[in-house]
Amino acid sequence: MPATEGVHAKTRLWAAISVISNVAGNSALTHGMHEPGAIGNTPFALIAALFHPWVALGVTLLIVWTFAHMALLSWADLSYVMPVTAIGYVVTAFAGKFFLGEIVSPARWAGIVLITAGVTLVGRTAPASPLEGDSR
């Protein structure tokens, strides 16, 4: 497998791990935060919310996301990783449709098409810029 294809494959794998852990983590966190009494207004209440089961699951998944994001940024550009992982917005919309039965309005479909086109366009660029003196 040529080196550039290897980088693309590795980047796609870690981008997928990053997107899935981020979407699942944020969903669990949002679900937990909207449960009555999960969060108060003081800093202590915010920390106490971390021990709520859904919030704890969300935080664990967001730790996985942090590691995957760091790994990606160790070889790929920020201006590549940031837009490519934006496919998470589309995954969230489809998860809402299939798991929660949410209706995807025409505006949402337009958003899905625009984001997918943007991610595809950025995904066609080389993940890392060839910089002088760069160790990557």
Contact call for residue 8 and another protein (CB under 8 A): no
Q: For residues 81 and 105, give the distance between their C-alpha atoms in angstroms, rounded to a whole number.
A: 28
CB atoms within 10 A of CB 91: 15
Q: Which of 9, 12, 53, 121 binds another protein (CB under 8 A)?
A: 121
Site string for another protein, 73-112 (x = CB under 8 A): xxx-xxxxxxx--x--xx--x-----------x-xx-xxx
Asked whether 127 and 80 are in contact (CB, 8 A), the reply is yes
Separation of first and last alpha carbons in the chain: 19
Residues contacting residue 25 through CB under 8 Å, at least 6 positions apart = 57, 58, 59, 60, 61, 62, 64, 65
> Site residues for another protein, window 41-70 (CB under 8 A)?
46, 49, 62, 66-67, 69-70
Q: Pick the closer one to another protein by CB: 12 or 136.
A: 136
**34 in contact with another protein (CB under 8 A):** yes
Name the residue nearer to another protein (CB basis): 2 or 130.
130
135: phi then psi, degrees, rounded to nearest 5: -85, -10
Q: Which residues bind another protein (CB under 8 A)?
A: 29-30, 33-34, 39, 46, 49, 62, 66-67, 69-71, 73-75, 77-83, 86, 89-90, 93, 105, 107-108, 110-122, 124-126, 129-131, 134-136
